[in-house]
Amino acid sequence: MDVVLNHVDYLQVGVTSQKTTRLLPAIGRKANQKVAVADSDGVITCFGMKKGEAVPVFRTLPGQRISRLELGGAPGTPQEKIFVSSGSEVRGFTKKGTSLGRTSSTECFGCSSSEQLLYGVEVPGPPSVLELNNKDGGTDGDEILYGTTDGRLGLVKITESAPVVKWEMDNEKKKGGILCIDTFDILGDGVKDILVGRDDGTVEIYALDASNELSLRFEHVLSESVTSIQGGCVGKENYDEVRIASCCSLHSGPLGLKRKITSRLCVCVCVCRSELEQLQVKVLQGREKYQQSSQSSTAVSTVPAFSVNDKFTLCQDDASYSLALEVQTAIDNLLLQSDVPIDLLDVDKNSAVVSFSECDSEPNGNFLLATYRCQANTTRLELKVRSIEGQYGTLQAYITPRLQPKTCQVRQYQIKPLSLHQRTHSIAQDRPMNTLRLVGQFSFAEVHSWVVFCLPEVPEKTPAAESVTFYFQNTFLGTQLEATYSKGEGNFKSDNISTISILKDVLSKEATKRKINLNISYDVNENSVSHTLMMIHPKLEYQLLLSKKVQLIDALKELQVHEGNADFLIPEYRSILDESARLLDEYKKQPAHLERLYGMITDLFIDKFKFKGQNVKTKVSALLEILDNYDLNSLIDFFNEA
């Protein structure tokens, strides 16, 4: 990374959505570009820079939340007209702010529909953003850059017969998901670079060489997620910049090429300090006025409104859910409450102090009560939780910002019965599969709603086709699920009998709620049990070895202190001492991992015999004894002989 860029803040606006900031094309002799930005309050702000200060061109009145902003115009003319979408309504404005009218029609205009799909493009993760390469699709106009929610980046060439993957970049450092992409020659070498903005606030510039190898040339981390990114010239002529819009209230901020400190810059610093002093005086006056009014018997207190941007997504790498919360102002504390058992995992980016309260889970169904106390000026909080499949309910987050009077917002997140399953393109057909078949007087919409209730990443809207097939993979174990259903019939196949058992129980319960009679049949493949145990085996063996190593660390350190060195130890023990920090960190980041695997094996044992009509809960203690002295062959023999 050999590019030096400076961070400059231009303007503060409301909470912005993805792709709601654009640079207007430069016209005339001046190279400076105007900026148009739309926020969740429905306000469109257009401004330019003059003598280092933001000068507004126009600003609209508040309205419905704006979800997208694009530029347009007649072919062959500058694309300088501003179009925004709010719900089902599209509005247009000139660069001066004059309204071009609006439309709220839901019909399609100028579209040619076809029932035949040419082909699909498989990408390594759920796509979150698409952008034409070099803004025009490259040499042949058929190259598309894409970013995924799990932080991967790639380039695909769309040909007439089949897609061609030019390159893909993995997210090895576990950075945030990609929200925005742009191409711009910020390095000045005549080749457009790739600008990337992520939901964890990371801004990146990648250069691509002749052999399609990516190299990271610049990286900067903001405190808020990056919703829009674009290269251009805003602040000063002949200075290229990377213009950024962050999610929570800060249109922050072009990263301009390094400039010398001039006398004008010193004047700007003095002006900013003067404005800060004036703001501090106004804040003190406002607090005094509020204290006086709060003591009045006739005064009415109003709750301050604040926007929250949240995201609850399944992470494929570690089979956990990531909860990211962003608030306009600083977060004071966050209270988490769950009516299902979940584990909280450590996150390196999280500097908040967490404390747990005792929960009475039996009568109240309250399994988790945790409080995160945030440091000053924390506007973004990220945490991870891991659920248990088969136990479903609601996770609630109570967000309290540093505002007076004290107020709180509650956000709810559904923990689904098969919460650790993720959509995939296809599954292996050579695995031993168990089958569950449902037949009854239910509609296509009803059975689809049941699947939506059970599994993540399924669209809530009922598909237009008469039947549909979805494929899923368990992110924790790697087992698979195929769901095919239509009106009056549903077929589910999985190589994990516990998955079939969970579906059977949940779907029966949902049908009973609606007073629908179901004819349920199933076919159990005996080989699937040993197949699942073999898939669990490497994870269980690794966790058992990790647990034993961690237990030895303290004793080995005492021996090292007593003897003065560790040369007398065998190489295996010396290796444990050398890697003690990494082992402890890994063990800390995976709480109850071993117990979770024990629980999955126990559920598999119970579910196998439940389909045979046998209750084997009395033999669970014998199963746990075998797990304590783990051997794969002994475990498989126990399953077969029981």
Over the stretch 406-446, which tens digit does the pLDDT of each residue have?
Answer: 889 999 999 999 999 999 988 988 999 999 999 999 999 99
Give the pLDDT confidence score for residue 107 in this predicted structure: 60
Instruction: Please report which confidence band the pLDDT of residue 126 belongs to, taking 50, 70 and 90 as the band edges.
Output: confident
Asked if residue 276 belongs to a domain, the reply is no
Give the pLDDT confidence score for residue 436 in this predicted structure: 94
Asked if residue 141 belongs to a domain, the reply is no
Residues 242 and 340 in one domain: no
Give the pLDDT confidence score for residue 209 in this predicted structure: 76
Mean pLDDT over 135-151 rounds to 88
Instruction: Answer for the pair 539, 596: CB distance below 8 angstroms, yes or no.
Output: no
Residues 587 and 507 in one domain: no
Tens-digit pLDDT profile for residues 69-104: 999 888 888 888 999 998 888 888 988 888 888 776
Q: Which domain holds residue 199?
A: 5-104+122-130+159-265
Asked if residue 46 belongs to a domain, the reply is yes
Contacts of 513 (CB under 8 A, 6+ apart): none
386 versus 556: which is more confidently predicted?
386
- Cα–Cα distances (Å) from 184 to 242, 364, 417, in that order, read 9, 56, 45
Which of 310, 306, 307, 305 shows the shortest CA–CA distance to 396? 310
- Cα–Cα distances (Å) from 195 to 178, 235, 491, in that order, read 11, 19, 45
Mean pLDDT over 481-506 rounds to 94
292 versus 510: which is more confidently predicted?
510
Mean pLDDT over 115-123 rounds to 79
Residues 518 and 559 in one domain: no
Give the end of a domain, one of 415, 431, 462.
415
Mean pLDDT over 226-246 rounds to 82
Percent of the chain surpassing pLDDT 70: 92
Give the end of a domain, one of 230, 265, 300.
265
Helices (H), 564-631: 571-578, 580-589, 593-610, 620-628
Instruction: Answer for the pair 45, 272: CB distance below 8 angstroms, yes or no.
Output: no
490 in helix, strand or coil?
strand
Asked if residue 277 belongs to a domain, the reply is no
CA dist 606 and 53 (Å) reads: 69
Asked if pLDDT for residue 478 goes beyond 80, the answer is yes
Give the pLDDT confidence score for residue 30 in this predicted structure: 62
Asked if pLDDT for residue 607 goes beyond 70, the answer is yes
Give the pLDDT confidence score for residue 250 in this predicted structure: 44
Give the pLDDT confidence score for residue 109 in this predicted structure: 54
Give the pLDDT confidence score for residue 13 in this predicted structure: 80
Instruction: Please report which confidence band the pLDDT of residue 252 belongs to, taking 50, 70 and 90 as the band edges.
Output: very low
Give the pLDDT confidence score for residue 240 in this predicted structure: 79
Task: Give the highest mean pLDDT range of 1-10, 148-157, 580-589.
Answer: 148-157
Residues 426 and 409 in one domain: no
Give the pLDDT confidence score for residue 113 in this predicted structure: 58
Residues 166 and 48 in one domain: yes
Residues 405 and 442 in one domain: no
Residues 173 and 84 in one domain: yes
Asked if residue 150 belongs to a domain, the reply is no
Tokens for 319, please give them: 């089979």
Tens-digit pLDDT profile for residues 563-585: 777 778 788 888 888 888 888 88
Q: What CATH number should be reported for the domain holding residue 383?
A: 2.60.40
Q: CB burial class (10 A; 0-12, 13-18, 19+) of residue 617?
A: exposed
- Cα–Cα distances (Å) from 363 to 91, 339, 360, 367, in that order, read 53, 11, 7, 11
Asked if residue 453 belongs to a domain, the reply is yes
How many CA atoms within 13 Å lie on the side-chain side of 372?
A: 27
Give the end of a domain, one of 508, 525, 542.
525
Asked if residue 292 belongs to a domain, the reply is no
Q: What pTM did the predictor assign?
A: 0.83
Q: What CATH number should be reported for the domain holding residue 491?
A: 3.30.310
Q: CB burial class (10 A; 0-12, 13-18, 19+) of residue 463?
A: middle
* Chain length of the chain: 642
Instruction: Please report which confidence band the pLDDT of residue 258 belongs to, taking 50, 70 and 90 as the band edges.
Output: very low
* 360-369, 544-553, 632-641: the lowest-pLDDT one: 360-369
Instruction: Answer for the pair 145, 154: CB distance below 8 angstroms, yes or no.
Output: yes
Residues 97 and 203 in one domain: yes
555 versus 370: which is more confidently predicted?
370
Residues 379 and 342 in one domain: yes
Tokens for 584, please give them: 């402890």
Asked if pLDDT for residue 483 goes beyond 90, the answer is yes
Residues 223 and 356 in one domain: no
Q: How many domains does the chain have?
A: 4
Percent of the chain surpassing pLDDT 90: 30
Residues 187 and 82 in one domain: yes
129 in helix, strand or coil?
strand
Instruction: Please report which confidence band the pLDDT of residue 251 belongs to, taking 50, 70 and 90 as the band edges.
Output: very low
Name the region of 221 (left: φ>0; alpha: ψ -120 to 50; beta: rest): beta
Asked if pLDDT for residue 508 goes beyond 90, the answer is yes
Residues 396 and 481 in one domain: no
Asked if pLDDT for residue 532 goes beyond 50, the answer is yes
Asked if residue 391 belongs to a domain, the reply is yes
CA dist 28 and 480 (Å) reads: 60
Tens-digit pLDDT profile for residues 315-334: 888 889 999 998 888 899 99
* 298-302, 337-341, 559-563: the lowest-pLDDT one: 298-302
Instruction: Please report which confidence band the pLDDT of residue 286 belongs to, taking 50, 70 and 90 as the band edges.
Output: confident
Mean pLDDT over 553-558 rounds to 83
Asked if pLDDT for residue 363 goes beyond 50, the answer is yes
Give the pLDDT confidence score for residue 369 in this predicted structure: 92
Asked if pLDDT for residue 259 goes beyond 80, the answer is no
Q: Taking all residues of the chain, what is their mean pLDDT, rounded to a whole number?
A: 85
Helices (H), 422-483: 444-454
* 267-276, 310-319, 523-532: the lowest-pLDDT one: 267-276
Give the pLDDT confidence score for residue 121 in this predicted structure: 86
Q: Report which secondary-structure segment, H or E, holds 332.
A: strand 331-338
- Cα–Cα distances (Å) from 469 to 167, 462, 491, in that order, read 29, 12, 9
Asked if pLDDT for residue 468 goes beyond 70, the answer is yes
Asked if pLDDT for residue 479 goes beyond 90, the answer is yes
Asked if pLDDT for residue 36 goes beyond 50, the answer is yes
Which of 396, 409, 395, 400 shows the shortest CA–CA distance to 378? 400
